[in-house]
Amino acid sequence: MSVVIQSVLTVLGVLIGLLALAAGLTFIERRLLGLFQERYGPNRAGPFGLLQVVADAVKIMTKEDWIAPFSDRFVFFLAPAIMVFATVMPFSVVVFSPAVAVADLNIGLLFFLAMSSLAVYGVALGGWASNSKYSLLGSLRAVGQMVSYEVFMGLSVMGVVVLAGSFSLGEIVRAQSRMWFCIPQLPGLVIFLIAGSAESRRIPFDLPEAEAELVAGFHTEYSGFKFAFFYIGEYLGITLLSTFVVVLFFGGWLGPWLPPILWFLIKLAIVIAFLILVRAALPRLRYDQLMRFGWMVMLPLALLNLLVTGALVLAAGR
Amino acid sequence: MFSIIRTLWLVFLRAFRPRFTVRYPDERRRLPPRWRGRIILSRDPDGQERCVACYLCAVACPVDCIALQATEDDQGRRYPEFFRINFSRCIFCGFCEEACPTYAIQLTPDFEMAEYRRKDLVYEKEDLLIGGSGKYSGYNFYRVAGVSIGGKDKGEGESELPPVDIRDLMP
């Protein structure tokens, strides 16, 4: 019985922690962008503008929840839910520390890849159900981009799997006790970061919602709480990507002196800050550049990385 | 590839620079005297309205936000019966100030004139008229202009010669 209560508490704790983190990220990202761009960002509401999160939440909840009369209502409601569901689920297999983990599945990494592929349905269905040209164009781009970047996202982490000899995230972290995989798997890390940015539609790859071209892309017609779901889903996606970068390449909870969960959070914060820096620094790619880059550069690199890693492990094994 | 890393590094270094933002209500920048803000009507050094209601400002105004009606007092001095500026239309271009022959209408370094009701942005003459002479302190139109008003006839203005008899042939 106590096991059930403990696991329920863990699930609730992880879920609430994640949602709080995603909500806080909306504020932290704007402040950090301000820092990198020599301005302030939201700093008026509360101390350091911390209450901006509350203000945004109140604003977005009290906005008119407009449902496009030309939309496909059922799918229109479903899409944001799929989006948040598919980005929250992979956290269930993450081992945050030896004590904090919902379920250390033995195929955890595969579960993550499967779930992150489901997230594309949220975007695709959202754009389709909106029944407007900008949304449709945005979701078309999203599908093309996410399907093609998924291929070498999976391949880029296979080097880690080869080195660790397991799909379980706990095992992968434990295998890094002597050396973090960011050193032997540096190409894998770079490819995973790029593919992950594309998966979570971060700025060099934010074509599905390119403001300058497509108003807001796939969520143009969304408002109120359903828009908040997409918004939260986006920040959960960033957290998800950073979490897996930390787990797969930076040794998860491993680190001296401090408690494991703190190490995990510190690494997570650094990776998230790096992703925000990328957003502050880099411009958006053109669509054909994106596709060419994906298929002509990243895919061969990922394959080569996997080949070399496998060959070295085989040679060392003998 | 290298350029991307360099970009990231340079943008990261920006985080340690002072920020450009002026936190406006807390800190205010000094506005230059010729800043084009709220419009006023000035008075001449004798304390009388400079405006002679010539309508040139209303004609010059590209958004037609100035309305006035000319009238004359018992001394023959022209002045506006009413003078109305609709600041919800005004674009603060300063054409009215350039057009004004008497330095009456002037723009001032003040822009904090927000209102909750749109009609509160319509300023009447009593709102526009100030006590002093604004930017051109010594100038008095009727002292230098060759117009006769009560108490000052033609030829009595500053550095003005007596009027020529146009029916006479002699110089």
| Least Cα separation, residue B23 to chain A (angstroms) | 9
Asked whether residue B121 is assigned to any structural domain, the reply reads yes
pLDDT range class, residue B116, cuts 50, 70, 90: very high
Q: Is A277 in CB contact (< 8 Å) with chain B?
A: yes
| Least Cα separation, residue A301 to chain B (angstroms) | 14
Q: In this predicted model, what pLDDT tens digit does every residue of A181-211 receive, in sequence order?
A: 777 788 888 888 888 888 888 777 877 776 6
Task: Pull the structure tokens for residue A216.
Answer: 């807001």
Closest CA to A279 of A31, A6, A4, A22: A31
pTM of model > 0.80:
no
The angle formed by the CA atoms of residues A261, A273 and A11, to the nearest 5 degrees, is 35
Closest CA to A132 of A72, A79, A201, A64: A72
Give the rounded distance of the alpha carbon of A153 from its chain centre: 12
Asked if residue A27 has pLDDT above 80, the reply is: yes
Structure confidence at residue B41 (pLDDT):
92
Average pLDDT over residues A1-14: 82
The Cα–Cα gap between A167 and B77 comes to 96
For residue B14, the chain A residues in CB contact (below 8 A) are: 35-38
For residue B15, the chain A residues in CB contact (below 8 A) are: 35-36
Q: In this predicted model, what pLDDT tens digit does every residue of B5-52 receive, in sequence order?
A: 898 888 888 888 888 888 888 888 888 988 999 999 999 888 888 888
Asked whether residue B66 is assigned to any structural domain, the reply reads yes
Q: In this predicted model, what pLDDT tens digit does every residue of B64-80 receive, in sequence order?
A: 999 999 998 888 888 89
Three-state DSSP string of A12-38: HHHHHHHHHHHHHHHHHHHHHHHHHCC
The Cα–Cα gap between A162 and A218 comes to 37
The Cα–Cα gap between B73 and B58 comes to 21
Structure confidence at residue B92 (pLDDT):
92
Structure confidence at residue A137 (pLDDT):
84
For residue B1, the chain A residues in CB contact (below 8 A) are: none
Ramachandran bin of B148, using left for φ above 0, alpha for ψ from -120 to 50, beta for the remaining angles: beta
Task: Pull the structure tokens for residue A115.
Answer: 């779930």
Q: What are the beta bridge partners of residue A94?
A: none
Give the N- to C-terminal CA distance of chain B in Å, as an integer.
87
Of B7, B14, B23, the CB nearest to A38: B14
Percent of chain B at pLDDT > 90 equals 30
Asked whether residue B98 is assigned to any structural domain, the reply reads yes
Q: Is A34 in CB contact (< 8 Å) with chain B?
A: yes
Of B4, B10, B19, the CB nearest to A39: B19
DSSP 8-state assignment for residue B19? P
Q: In this predicted model, what pLDDT tens digit does every residue of B117-142 receive, in sequence order?
A: 998 999 999 888 888 888 888 888 88
Domain that holds residue B48: 31-138
Of B4, B7, B19, the CB nearest to A40: B19
Instruction: Answer whether A232's CB lies under 8 Å from A25's CB.
Output: no
Structure confidence at residue A318 (pLDDT):
59
Asked whether residue B15 is assigned to any structural domain, the reply reads no
Q: What is the mean pLDDT of chain B?
A: 87
Average pLDDT over residues A279-298: 85
Closest CA to A248 of A151, A98, A108: A108
Instruction: Answer whether B85's CB lies under 8 Å from B123's CB.
Output: yes
Asked whether residue B5 is assigned to any structural domain, the reply reads no
Q: In this predicted model, what pLDDT tens digit does every residue of A29-52 receive, in sequence order?
A: 888 888 888 888 888 887 888 888
Q: H-type helices in chain A, by residue range?
A: 2-36, 52-62, 73-88, 108-130, 133-164, 169-174, 186-199, 211-214, 224-249, 260-281, 287-292, 299-317
Closest CA to A147 of A107, A212, A195, A182: A195
Q: Is B18 in CB contact (< 8 Å) with chain A?
A: yes
> Cβ–Cβ contacts within 10 Å for residue A208, how many?
28
Which CATH number fits the domain that encloses residue B132? Answer: 3.30.70.3270
Helix (H, G, I), strand (E, B) or coil at B82: strand
Cβ <8 Å between A282 and B21: no
Question: Which residue of B lies nearest to A42 if distances are taken between CA atoms?
Answer: B23
Helix (H, G, I), strand (E, B) or coil at B102: coil
User: Chains A and B: how many Cβ contacts under 8 Å?
Assistant: 34
Structure confidence at residue A68 (pLDDT):
78
Task: Pull the structure tokens for residue A67.
Answer: 């449902």
Cα A284 to Cα A190, A202, A280, A315, distances in angstroms:
18, 9, 11, 42
Q: Which residue has the higher pLDDT, B104 or A211?
A: B104
Give me the number of domains chain B comprises. Answer: 1
Q: Is A45 in CB contact (< 8 Å) with chain B?
A: no
Cβ <8 Å between B14 and A34: no
